[in-house]
Structure 1
Amino acid sequence: MNLTLEQIQDFKGKYPRQIWSLFFSEMWERFCFYGMRGMLVFFMISQLNFGDEQANLQYGATQAFVYAFTFVGGLFADKILGFRKSLFWGGLLMIVGSVILSIDPHQFFFLGIAFTVVGTGFFKPNISTMVGKLYKAGDSRTDAGFSLFYAGINLGALLGGYFCIAIGKGEMFSSFIPEDKRWNVAFSLAAIVMVVSLVNFIFTQRRLGPIGLQPQTLNADGTFSPMAKWKEYGVYVLSLVFVPIIMTMVSITEYTDLFMYIVGPLTLIYLFYEMTKVTPAERKKLWAALVFIIFSILFWGIYEQSGGSLSIFAANNLNKDLLGLDPNGVNNSGGAFFIIFLAPIIGLLWIWLSERKLEPNTLIKFGLGFIFLGLGYYLLFATKFFANLQGITSLNIFTIALLVITFGELCLSPIGLSIMTKLSTEKLQGMMMGMWFLASAYGQYVAGIIGANMASAREGATNYEKLITYTEGYKDLGIYALVAGLVLILISPFVKKLMQEVH
């Protein structure tokens, strides 16, 4: 099916047909990713005998490298592989990582994680960029499309986030799975769904036309020739070389500290260099994109306690008063559950407001995201008022907090993916999408440090004292989020000028 880009973008209705296929590929990849993410801290504490503080730092380091490597994956996709080959190669590496963990997660934990980190770096930024390519510049339906796509992400997160940890802990299928094989099965499940994701993408390619094809080399006479094979194969070899490096840096968190101190400034220097090659109007848009990227670091630093400190909080301080569900499973998948229902509604709301010229600009949406995030963390703080003397509090109140935080996420994350494609130049789209995820890496890194500080402050304390320490920390995070949201709303007129015609 040889569709042209114009035919793809000239679609009727609210969503292009191709977005559904990309939706399912991303859904199963996110099952794999969030399934393993949800197991990390609990597995490290219960199976590898890590302390709470160490587990939080390891979690932050692992997640930071996952998102940091998306910058590398986006760069290689832009320059050499193209989005399709990059996505497929990343998926294969994720399958290898999941299979390694399924064989012996205790012995090969960091090796399997390293393969997953590198694979996610090649997969994640490029499928998001292809979604952006389905729309013409300025199409008011773009935000709705990314909101729908984000629902696919979270359907995978819901299934993987609950099933994997529940199987590993023995909360599900324990009568069928031997106790010593539960974690093997949980990691195997991640590998199986990743295979499904890649098979689906193979069939998807027929309807993508020129979107995501490998870039061609510009010759001196103005003609184009295929990319040299040695460059493509060189990327594959180099990415495998990265595996033992990532394995070492993730397992020794001091190396992660050094990496994060260096890579951010270097990335900014490279971006500033690329900005010298663009027009003044394009440069203003890139400055606007940088504002979104910087604030997103703070957002994810607060939001991503779910995989770290909230995982420990769920295991130690929550009851099962919500339909008897496992608190860790709810913590891992509750936000995703709400997004599945809310994302299409929010996307249609943006369209409805846009048609009536009432839609808030993207920066206002970001500000609202922070305000909802802050209110959600205040509800997490409020769980202490429902605790008994043993430090056990209500999973119901905890879940309501996740609902409020989800409204914040929907105001920021899918809109962030969309705005990166709108503000980027044609040649820098993969890089800017990578920078968006690199900002998430710093957010994950900060989240790990915050969680570790909460854990280290409560050594030897009673379970009730631990609950008070965590909830007081969540109150502070709520204050930071609310302040950031107000600042974003105040500076929105200035940033709107930098964005020019982009809304």
Structure 2
Amino acid sequence: MSTKASSQRDFLGHPTGLFVLFFAEMWERFSYYGMRALLVFYMIKGFLQYDDSRAYGVYGAYTALVYMTPFFGGMLADRLLGARVAVIIGGLLMAAGHLVMTIQSAMMFYLALALIIAGNGFFKPNISAIVGQLYPAGSTKRDGGFTIFYMGVNLGATLSPLICGYIGETYGWHYGFGLATIGMMIGLAIFIMPTIITQLLIGAGAVGTAITLYLFVPDNTVAMFINAFVAIALAIAGIISIRALSLGGIPPEAGGPPDGKVKMLKSVLLGIVVGVPLLTLFVSDFSILREGGEPLRLISEATIEELQKGGGVVAEIGSVFLKEISKPAGILLAITGFLAFGYLLVETFRLEKIARQRMYVVLILTFFSMLFFSFFEQAGSSVNNFTDRNVDRVVEDRIITESDVGKTIQIQPTQEQLGYANGGKIFTITQLDSLRKQNQGTEDKQGNPDFTIDWQVSPENIGMGIAPRKAELAASGFQAVNPIFILIFGLIFTSLWSLLATRGIEPSTPYKFALGLIQLGLGFAAFWMGAMNADARGMVAVGWLLLGYMFQTTGELCLSPVGLSMITRLSPKVLVSTVMGGWFLAAAFSQYLAAIISQFTGVSHGGNGDKTIPAPIETVGIYRDVFQKIAIAAIASGVVCLLLAPLLKKCMHEHEDETE
């Protein structure tokens, strides 16, 4: 449905309601990505004390279900609620989820994830639908409007790790989750409040966020520049939006229910009351009901261990895959995906020749997209831990020299001490995290963490850096790198494709997919090379991480924006919504597959109750080997897609009618 109220005015060529939705979505993404940046760290370092494998499994189930629920939320909005009511329900559920996350209880932790999963299902597809409804049918401005909206998504995704991530890691997890709650409530209030209050909220939110970025920043020139850049971008967006809203907000009919009346609201709410506990069970893999809190598996541990005895790479991959897919969330996803794929195949075989061949292209490219995101989504799990454990994130004030040997000095412990011996015992990230947890609340007058430990300097310590805590960049803050690169390169790529199109040399969709996969592989090759060139204690220069993220982002810009466009362009009209749902289900499977891949980077946390994470020199090789394999797999997939591209392009029948 496309409606554009006659009362709705334009600003900078776009409906004024777009600027409300820009900030509502920005704050929602702030809350979602703020929690996402902390989630794996929280499970490993927080009260749950999970090992890598368990944390990755929960993370995969959570992100997979997050991508599955929009399919159902969109259907309920289309048939019963309308997009506006669905967005409000989703926002309230997600805010509740972020708030519950502050409670230290396994049951409450999984309930929080379930609330966010359910809320995302209602919020995510429907706020995008309202954007489309602001434009009349056939409007040439719609793509530009979605580009602006997408910038809001990435601005929120940039802000959250810099604020929620930094504060959560530095001052306490509950502060990070609390900020995510506040962000979601601001976004929801912007969406539902009268225009004048919306303007005040946008202005106050921008000012408050800019102040927070100024106050809570590592003592690092690059970090200060990034925070300043983001604060300026937020201020500009705020000024433009406030000015736009002086002309009006979202028209009342945008996002309205079908036939003008909300249907079966009580039944939907009852379904949520029933559905959230079920989601709690699935995201926890029924562990909350089992003695010892271990996840349920339909294939026994003994069977999986027997398979591993076969030895070799195939046995290892097969055992890890079975271990995860035999959990309730994996089974649910596998059954849903199998049924959806089977249904699409049956419908494809019934189509006429041109439409059928186009659907073949859609299905094949969806498979390549699934591969892309199963590698790309290592960012929130294995790459996040790699950044925490093996990437040098500290700018030291000085280094230990021979003149310090034999002395006992007082230092603020940072990542610089990892892998060095203090009193004959190797200092690990587990000790560092434990010290920081014990000393939370010991801030100086400026609010900076301020505690020291005694360090016995030995000859092996020569070259060790010394720096204050504030000179260390939070690992979660690097989750902002990808959206920052999108903000930088997004418009460049859009202009590049337009320029190539005017000259008749724009790559077709299959070629763009191939380029995306190859660049993704180059990104992991950068991580691999960084690990290959790690220093003597296993630490990797941060430049390798940034280079890898840059290649991954340019790969994403080649593939991701054209994916949904490809579906709407190539799918038969009678199947567009179903195929779109299939795309999101494929994305859900990508998330789960990403969790399975990340299992191969899992680091043993010790046995007999010892939860110590090994020193960097012991973990860097694990990440190096897995990232090398991912790089090879991604580049090989890109080459296969490149070889198939001429055939796929021919099957797209770009200048033919499907009835021909």
The structural deviation recorded for 1:370 is: 0.8
The structural deviation recorded for 1:303 is: 0.5
Residue 157 (structure 2) aligns with: 157
Q: Which amino acid aligns with 2:279?
A: I
1:486–1:258: structure 2 CA closer, same or farther, 3 Å change rule? same
1:10–1:398: structure 2 CA closer, same or farther, 3 Å change rule? same
CA RMSD between the two structures: 3.4
1:142–1:120: structure 2 CA closer, same or farther, 3 Å change rule? same
Question: Could you say what secondary structure the match of 2:93 adopts?
Answer: helix
CA deviation digits over 1:297-318, x for unaligned, max 9?
1111100111111121111111
Question: Could you say what secondary structure the match of 1:229 adopts?
Answer: coil
The structural deviation recorded for 1:242 is: 1.5
Count the aligned residue pairs: 481
Q: What is the distance in 2 between the residues matched to 1:126 and 1:499?
A: 29
Looking at secondary structure, tell me which structure has more helix per residue: 1
2:128 maps to 1:55: no
Structure 2 residue aligned with 1:213, among 237, 256, 268?
256
The structural deviation recorded for 1:272 is: 4.8
Q: What is the distance in 2 between the residues matched to 1:106 and 1:133?
A: 41
Q: What is the distance in 2 between the residues matched to 1:486 and 1:450?
A: 21
2:269 maps to 1:269: no
2:592 maps to 1:445: yes
Q: Which amino acid aligns with 1:169?
A: E
1:132–1:421: 8 Å Cα contact kept in structure 2?
no
1:89–1:287: structure 2 CA closer, same or farther, 3 Å change rule? farther
Residue 263 (structure 2) aligns with: 229
1:134–1:274: structure 2 CA closer, same or farther, 3 Å change rule? farther
Residue 339 (structure 1) aligns with: 486
The structural deviation recorded for 1:107 is: 5.8
The structural deviation recorded for 1:50 is: 0.3
Structure 2 residue aligned with 1:194, among 175, 179, 184?
184
Residue 562 (structure 2) aligns with: 415
1:137–1:4: structure 2 CA closer, same or farther, 3 Å change rule? closer
Q: What is the distance in 2 between the residues matched to 1:367 and 1:77?
A: 35
2:370 maps to 1:297: yes
1:289–1:82: structure 2 CA closer, same or farther, 3 Å change rule? farther
Q: Which amino acid aligns with 2:583?
A: W
1:144–1:351: 8 Å Cα contact kept in structure 2?
no
Residue 485 (structure 1) aligns with: 638
2:645 maps to 1:467: no
The structural deviation recorded for 1:374 is: 0.6
CA deviation digits over 1:150-191, x for unaligned, max 9?
332221111112321211111xxx4xxxxxxx3222112112
Q: Which amino acid aligns with 1:229?
A: K
2:87–2:122: 8 Å Cα contact kept in structure 1?
yes
Residue 549 (structure 2) aligns with: 402
The structural deviation recorded for 1:292 is: 2.9
The structural deviation recorded for 1:339 is: 1.1
The structural deviation recorded for 1:340 is: 1.5
Q: Which amino acid aligns with 2:32?
A: F
The structural deviation recorded for 1:499 is: 3.8
Of structures 1 and 2, the one with the larger relative CO (CA 8 A, separation 6+) is 1
Structure 2 length-normalised TM: 0.66
Structure 1 residue aligned with 2:379, among 300, 306, 318?
306
Matches within 5 A, 1:230-269: 230=264, 232-252=265-285, 254-269=327-342
The structural deviation recorded for 1:46 is: 0.5
CA deviation digits over 1:95-120, x for unaligned, max 9?
11112123446661111111001111
Larger CA deviation: 371-380 vs 268-277: 268-277
1:125–1:94: structure 2 CA closer, same or farther, 3 Å change rule? same
Q: Which amino acid aligns with 2:38?
A: M
Residue 75 (structure 2) aligns with: 75
1:387–1:393: 8 Å Cα contact kept in structure 2?
yes
The structural deviation recorded for 1:270 is: 4.1
Higher-Rg member (1/2): 2
Q: What is the distance in 2 between the residues matched to 1:206 and 1:282?
A: 41
Q: What is the distance in 2 between the residues matched to 1:26 and 1:108?
A: 26
Question: Could you say what secondary structure the match of 2:540 adopts?
Answer: coil
Larger CA deviation: 70-79 vs 112-121: 70-79
Residue 371 (structure 1) aligns with: 518
Q: What is the distance in 1 between the residues matched to 2:525 and 2:14?
A: 36
1:168–1:327: structure 2 CA closer, same or farther, 3 Å change rule? closer
Q: Which amino acid aligns with 1:399?
A: L
Q: Which amino acid aligns with 1:201?
A: F
The structural deviation recorded for 1:199 is: 2.8
Tell me, which stretches of 5 or more residues in structure 2 are unaligned? 196-244, 286-294, 296-326, 397-470, 607-612
1:27–1:107: structure 2 CA closer, same or farther, 3 Å change rule? same
The structural deviation recorded for 1:412 is: 1.6
1:166–1:234: structure 2 CA closer, same or farther, 3 Å change rule? same
1:296–1:126: structure 2 CA closer, same or farther, 3 Å change rule? farther
2:600–2:626: 8 Å Cα contact kept in structure 1?
no
Q: Which amino acid aligns with 2:510?
A: L
1:114–1:442: structure 2 CA closer, same or farther, 3 Å change rule? same
Residue 223 (structure 1) aligns with: none
Q: What is the distance in 2 between the residues matched to 1:296 and 1:60?
A: 17
The structural deviation recorded for 1:257 is: 2.0
Q: Which amino acid aligns with 1:236?
A: L
2:648 maps to 1:495: yes
2:517–2:637: 8 Å Cα contact kept in structure 1?
yes
Q: Which amino acid aligns with 2:33?
A: Y
Give the share of equivalent positions with the same residue, in percent.
Answer: 36
1:102–1:183: 8 Å Cα contact kept in structure 2?
yes
Residue 326 (structure 1) aligns with: 473
The structural deviation recorded for 1:461 is: 6.2
Q: Which amino acid aligns with 2:35?
A: M
Structure 2 residue aligned with 1:350, among 482, 497, 508?
497
CA deviation digits over 1:125-163, x for unaligned, max 9?
233344455678887776655444333222111111232
Residue 385 (structure 1) aligns with: 532
Larger CA deviation: 114-123 vs 427-436: 427-436
Residue 41 (structure 1) aligns with: 40
